Amino acid sequence: MRTKGAEYEWPEEAELVVCTVKDVKNFGAFVTLDEYEGKEGFIHIAEVSSGWIKYIRDYVREGQKLVCKVLRVDRDKAHIDLSLKAVNEHQRREKIQEWKNEQKAEKLLAIVAERLGVTVDDAWDRFGYDLLDKFGTLYRAFEDSVTDPDILGSEGFTGPWVETFDKVAKENIVPPAVSIDGYLELTNPRPDGAVHIRDALVKAVKADGVAVKVQYIGAPRYRLVVRASDYKTAEEEIQKAAAKVLKHIESKGGAGKFIRQE
């Protein structure tokens, strides 16, 4: 993964980094830092696992990808101490996904460069590094470009490359989405009450631009799930969907209430 001035950059203490195991010794493992060009680190055997280690290669092996936490950085000695045991599974998964996203973003930047008729290095110099500074990661720049087509312009980016960048983003990035849910409690004492409840729930799933699902939990409870591009939209749509259901069921002699699931 490319970083601005990578040969001069160092990770921060407590930062999570993706590493490739270079050499395994009985006392620890030497690794290269994938996100920091030319940087190497060391994982002491005491930082490999919290338990007793009989054979270190049962935990790490040459060529393996790891996510480690930076313990200490000594720039004078060009030495970086790392910990494998300090990273939990959730952190590992998130970091690996972030790393994969950034690798994908660099490939997309290469596509942008090709369409512009410039080299990848030129693309980095002309706008790539500026995007890193503004968005934090290159992938975030592509992702935000999909969710908000005007984002680059509003952030002050101009030039013919913007249109190409937006187009490549739309072709290759799936917009992020969030899901929220809640519960409907519906009753209708009429002989055809079940039909009215069903008709009311059908109204809930008819929404534009968002995905609404109804799941049967057990009478009188039904789960309402809304998936949208952001939490604000999702919250608005779940309230609209619930209101449609309640309005219909009440008009047919029934009763109901909506319980928002936080």
Instruction: Read off the pLDDT of each residue in 67-74 and give the average, rounded to a whole number.
Output: 97
Q: Do 170 and 151 meet the contact criterion of CB atoms below 8 Å apart?
A: no
pLDDT digit string, tens, across residues 23-39: 999 999 999 999 998 89
Distance (Å, whole) CA 35 – CA 221: 49
Which pLDDT band, with edges at 50, 70 and 90, does 149 fall under?
A: confident
pLDDT digit string, tens, across residues 92-142: 999 999 999 999 999 999 999 999 999 999 999 999 999 999 998 999 999
Please provide the CATH number assigned to the domain covering 90-172: 1.10.150.190
What is the residue-averaged pLDDT of the chain? 90
Query: For residues 108, 112, 114 and 116, what is the CA-based torsion angle, rounded to 10 degrees?
Result: 180
Query: For residues 187, 191, 197 and 198, what is the CA-based torsion angle, rounded to 10 degrees?
Result: 150
Phi, psi of 12 (to 5 degrees): -95, 155
| pLDDT above 80 for 261 | no
Q: How is residue 111 written in tokens?
A: 């596509």
Q: How is residue 10 written in tokens?
A: 């160092």
Q: Do 146 and 168 meet the contact criterion of CB atoms below 8 Å apart?
A: no
Question: Would 90-172 and 178-261 be classified into the same CATH topology?
Answer: no
Fold type of domain 178-261: Alpha-Beta Plaits (3.30.70)
Q: Helix and strand tally (H, E) in the chain? A: 8, 9
Which pLDDT band, with edges at 50, 70 and 90, does 7 fall under?
A: very low
Identify the DSSP state of 8.
Answer: G
Please provide the CATH number assigned to the domain covering 13-87: 2.40.50.140
Instruction: Read off the pLDDT of each residue in 56-84 and give the average, rounded to a whole number.
Output: 95
Specify the pLDDT at position 111: 97
Listed in sequence order, the residues at least 6 apart from 131 whose beta carbon sits closer than 8 Å to its beta carbon are 138, 141, 157
Handedness of CA 103, 105, 108, 109 (dihedral sign): negative
| pLDDT above 60 for 238 | yes
The domain spans of the chain are 13-87, 90-172, 178-261
pLDDT digit string, tens, across residues 182-217: 999 999 999 998 898 888 888 777 665 567 888 888
| pLDDT above 70 for 52 | yes
Specify the pLDDT at position 6: 47
Specify the pLDDT at position 209: 57
The size of the chain, in residues, is 262
